[in-house]
Amino acid sequence: MTNFLQTLFNNTTTRRGVGAIIIFVILWHIGSQLDEWTGYDLLGIGLVPPPGDVFAAFLEVIPLHGYWMSWVASFGRVITGFLVAMVIGIPFGLLLAVNRYFRGVFFPPFEILRPIPPLAWVPASLIFWPTNEMSIAFVTFLGAFFTIVINVLGGARSIDISYLRAAQSMGASQLDLFWKIVLPGTLPSIFTGAAVGMGITWEVVLAAEMISGGGTQGGGWPWLFYLELLYGRFLGTNSCRNDFHWHCRLSIVKRDKKDRLLLHALATFILTRTRTQIKNLKHSEFESPEKSHGNNKIKKEGDKRSAFQKSQQFFSFLARREQVLR
Amino acid sequence: MSKSYGEEWQSDDVLRDVSVDFPAGELTVIVGPSGCGKSTLVNLLAGFESPDTGQVLVDGTPITGPAKDRMVVFQETALIPWQTTVENVTFGPKMRGDKKGAALQKEAEDLLIKVGLGEFMNKFPIQLSGGMQRRAELARALINEPTVMLMDEPFRGLDAMSRSLMQEFFLELFEENQKTNIFVTSEIDEAIFLADNLVILSNKPTTVQTVIKIDLPRPRNYKMLTTAKAFKYKRQAMDLLHGEAMKSFAVLK
């Protein structure tokens, strides 16, 4: 072990990396404490909790059931969306590249749909898919799908034509051309597409979870957990306590900041938006899943409303909204 | 035959009434000013594209597309980058299934040893130098036993030293088995050094300007390039090409 560490730290790159992180943490600490020390707040960094507090809070979160459940839930959604995007996207991109007629038919609609941001699909996918879980997976799928297809298509189209010509004059059939030249030649782009797509999936999944109310079906991980536990913790205000029956054991943000009002307003805003989902959830759910079993069942049934009912509700909601705005 | 690109209303005539014979068993070199459509001519001969008018005949039979009897050695290397040298060489016979297994492997290895790549058969193309890549490509073409070899500026991009070495190496190969060979280049020295027949193309739209019979003895060596006869050929070719090159500059002005 010591040997391993020694070889690791003999490496200049490792030492530089570790040094950079240490310097970053020190700067962070100084930035967060500067206000207290000198009375001068550098660019609002004073609002940021110091690294020590964050680390302590992190240690407190680690043993919680909800923390790990949040990982599992988000990971499942990302993997589902990503795998489906790979399975559909790679053959689709290759077909677009090799077949002129297929490209003629499918590329224009693809290009019309592509610029629509995945998050803009959230309301539509909430309506169209029977469960929240599927809606979230669909949005993550979209996040990866377009990137993968564009990469595969671009990669396959940029294969040097002389490889194809050489193979052709040596007597390779169309099928051989595909398996021996086009597919191996596209592999690098497939991996690039997958790597970029995976990144986008993670960006999209959290936002989709937030907007859809966290997929209450699966227990609300991780968004409700995040809202209740972490937001409550970080803000440590009375309103949090009242809304969630949550005892804020640790308040990280300093209470007497003038910006507290702003944060307060932000929190209230987000909380009101998700209140409908939260109302049915008891605090206990986050720490012991067994007790909440009955509760979950009710919500599952609630989620199984038909797409039609959902859209009805959505449109009546929009209509009411319109009236209010007028 | 003729070939033009683009739509009818905005077409770009590349070849106009090009008619030329490539005698069997001889090395015909095509030279022409840059951008005159040499590569287009090669694509038509190989069958990658088809002419608008006229046809390409091999022993009196019109061609229908690319085939293994007309192997092309491309301008820049076209070795498949994810296959080793020996895999590249065996690619053609494997695809067609006409040679198989150990016999094919043996033949490929012998060919690679012959072109001086014995130690490099399990390397990937990117690990070879430019000259080695061209030799590997020659081996890849030769294993298909083509009746016609089409070389589209095969030594372009090589440094002067490897270029002249490759020319000598290529001549040795050619003089050994005297295959019908069509060699495209823009270098007059290279053309005269290699050719039996020298086809000089005009500026775009391309026509055949002259065919010069190069009457230098074989086997050749680089010393012959400095003989009076070679100089005469060079002068003749340069006069023609210079005129054509001036025309293409005039278009630009």
Q: What is the domain-level CATH number for residue B175? A: 3.40.50.300
Q: Are B45 and B34 in contact (CB under 8 A)?
A: no
Chain B interface with A: residues with Cβ < 8 Å: 46-48, 66-68, 70-72, 74-76, 78, 80, 82, 91-92, 95-96, 140, 144
User: Which pLDDT belongs to residue A257?
Assistant: 44
Q: Is the pLDDT of residue A200 over 80?
A: yes
Report if residue B204 sits inside a domain.
yes
Give the length of chain B: 253
Report the distance separating Cα A43 and Cα A310, nearest Å: 45
User: Which pLDDT belongs to residue A252?
Assistant: 39
Give the length of chain A: 326
Report if residue B37 sits inside a domain.
yes
| Type of residue at A198 | M
How many angstroms away from the CA of B92 is the closest CA of chain A?
5
The total of other beta-carbon atoms located within 10 Å of residue B168's CB is 16
User: Which pLDDT belongs to residue B160?
Assistant: 82
In which element (H, E) is residue A240 found? helix A238-244
* DSSP-derived 3-state class of residue A212: coil
Q: Which residue has the higher pLDDT, B208 or A319?
A: B208
At residue B97 the predicted structure's pLDDT band, cuts being 50, 70 and 90, is: confident
Residue of chain B nearest A172, judged by CA positions: B95
Name all domains of chain A by residue range, CATH numbers in brackets: 14-53 (no CATH), 65-216 (1.10.3720.10)
**What does the longest C-alpha to C-alpha distance in chain B come to?**
60
What 3 state SS string does A75-95 have?
HHHHHHHHHHHHHHHHHHHHH
Residue of chain B nearest A163, judged by CA positions: B78
A180 contact residues in B (CB cutoff 8 A): 80, 91, 95
Most confident region among A89-93, B59-63, B94-98 by mean pLDDT: A89-93
Q: Are A257 and A47 in contact (CB under 8 A)?
A: yes
Asked if residue B216 and residue B159 are part of one domain, the reply reads yes
Q: Are A56 and A249 in contact (CB under 8 A)?
A: no
Q: Exposed/middle/buried for B177, CB within 10 Å: 0-12, 13-18, 19+? A: exposed
In which element (H, E) is residue B185 found? strand B180-185
Report if residue B12 sits inside a domain.
yes
> Which of A226-240, B128-142, B230-244 has the lowest average pLDDT?
A226-240
The mean pLDDT value for A19-25 works out to: 93
User: Which pLDDT belongs to residue A308?
Assistant: 54
User: Which pLDDT belongs to residue A311?
Assistant: 53
* DSSP-derived 3-state class of residue B26: coil
The mean pLDDT value for A103-131 works out to: 88
Q: Does the CA dihedral A115-A117-A123-A128 come out positive or negative? A: positive
Asked if residue B200 and residue B172 are part of one domain, the reply reads yes
Q: Which residue has the higher pLDDT, B155 or A309?
A: B155
pLDDT in tens, A215-254: 444 445 566 666 555 555 554 443 333 333 333 333 334 4
The total of other beta-carbon atoms located within 10 Å of residue B75's CB is 18
What is the domain extent for residue B93? 81-145
Asked if residue B134 and residue B172 are part of one domain, the reply reads no
Asked if residue B154 and residue B64 are part of one domain, the reply reads yes
Q: ipTM of the assembly?
A: 0.80
The neighbouring-strand residues paired with B210 are: B200
Report the distance separating Cα B187 and Cα A149, nearest Å: 44
The mean pLDDT value for B67-79 works out to: 82
**Chain position carrying tokens 């430019």:** B130
Share of chain B above pLDDT 70, in %: 93
Report if residue B99 sits inside a domain.
yes
Put simply, the answer to whether A168 touches B66 (Cβ < 8 Å) is yes
How many angstroms away from the CA of A163 is the closest CA of chain B?
5
Put simply, the answer to whether A167 touches B144 (Cβ < 8 Å) is no
How many angstroms away from the CA of B152 is the closest CA of chain A?
11
Put simply, the answer to whether A169 touches B78 (Cβ < 8 Å) is no
How many angstroms away from the CA of B190 is the closest CA of chain A?
24
Put simply, the answer to whether A166 touches B72 (Cβ < 8 Å) is yes
Residue of chain A nearest B87, judged by CA positions: A180
Those residues whose C-beta lies under 8 Å from the C-beta of residue A227, and which sit 6 or more positions away, are A214, A270, A271, A274, A278
Q: Is the pLDDT of residue B107 over 90?
A: no
Q: Are A15 and A9 in contact (CB under 8 A)?
A: yes
Report the distance separating Cα A310 and Cα A37, nearest Å: 55
| Type of residue at B248 | S
How many angstroms away from the CA of B151 is the closest CA of chain A?
12
Distances (CA, A) of A291 to A218, A263, A285, A295: 14, 33, 7, 8
User: Which pLDDT belongs to residue A238?
Assistant: 38
Q: Which residue has the higher pLDDT, B135 or A230?
A: B135
Any idea of the CA torsion for A238, A240, A244, A247, to the nearest 10 degrees? -60
> Which of A16-20, A204-208, B126-130 has the lowest average pLDDT?
A204-208
Q: How many CB pairs under 8 A join A and B?
A: 57
Asked if residue B179 and residue B61 are part of one domain, the reply reads yes
Q: Is the pLDDT of residue A274 over 60?
A: no
* DSSP-derived 3-state class of residue B71: strand
Token pair for residue B56? 């390409």
Q: Which residue has the higher pLDDT, B40 or A325?
A: B40
Put simply, the answer to whether A171 touches B91 (Cβ < 8 Å) is no
Put simply, the answer to whether A169 touches B74 (Cβ < 8 Å) is no
Asked if residue B187 and residue B103 are part of one domain, the reply reads no
Residue to substitute from B48, B134, B137, B152, interface A, most A β-carbons within 10 A: B48
User: Which pLDDT belongs to residue A286?
Assistant: 41
User: Which pLDDT belongs to residue A192?
Assistant: 92
Give the pairing type, strands B148-152 and B70-73.
parallel
Rg of chain A's alpha carbons, rounded to an integer? 26
The mean pLDDT value for B64-79 works out to: 82
pLDDT in tens, B173-207: 888 877 888 888 888 888 888 888 888 888 777 77
Q: Are A194 and A86 in contact (CB under 8 A)?
A: yes
How many angstroms away from the CA of A192 is the closest CA of chain B?
17
Report if residue B240 sits inside a domain.
yes
* Alpha helices, H only, B115-212: 130-142, 160-177, 188-194
Asked if residue B54 and residue B175 are part of one domain, the reply reads yes
Q: What is the DSSP string of A272-325?
A: HHHHHHHHT--GGGGT-TTTTHHHHHHHHHHHT--HHHHHHHHHHHHHHHHHHH
Q: How many domains does chain B have?
A: 2
Asked if residue B139 and residue B96 are part of one domain, the reply reads yes
Asked if residue B141 and residue B151 are part of one domain, the reply reads no
Asked if residue B247 and residue B127 are part of one domain, the reply reads no
Mean pLDDT score across all residues of chain A: 73
The total of other beta-carbon atoms located within 10 Å of residue B248's CB is 15
pLDDT in tens, A31-79: 878 777 777 766 666 667 788 877 887 787 788 777 787 788 888 889 9
Residue to substitute from A162, A170, A177, interface B, most B β-carbons within 10 A: A170
Asked if residue B165 and residue B49 are part of one domain, the reply reads yes
Q: End of a domain among B128, B145, B162?
A: B145
Put simply, the answer to whether A165 touches B67 (Cβ < 8 Å) is no
Report if residue B75 sits inside a domain.
no
Q: Are A277 and A283 in contact (CB under 8 A)?
A: no
pLDDT in tens, A83-112: 999 999 999 999 999 888 999 999 999 999
pLDDT in tens, B21-38: 888 888 888 887 777 778
Chain A interface with B: residues with Cβ < 8 Å: 160, 162-163, 165-173, 176, 180-181, 184-185
User: Which pLDDT belongs to residue A92?
Assistant: 95
Report if residue B76 sits inside a domain.
no
> Which of A129-143, A190-204, A239-253, B55-69 has the lowest average pLDDT?
A239-253
Q: End of a domain among B97, B114, B145?
A: B145
Q: End of a domain among B125, B145, B165?
A: B145
B66 contact residues in A (CB cutoff 8 A): 165, 168-169
- Partner-chain residue, chosen from B46, B76, B80, that has the shortest CB–CB distance to A169: B46
How many angstroms away from the CA of B244 is the closest CA of chain A?
29
Give the pairing type, strands B197-201 and B208-213.
antiparallel
Asked if residue B152 and residue B60 are part of one domain, the reply reads yes
* DSSP-derived 3-state class of residue B7: coil
Q: Exposed/middle/buried for B252, CB within 10 Å: 0-12, 13-18, 19+? A: exposed
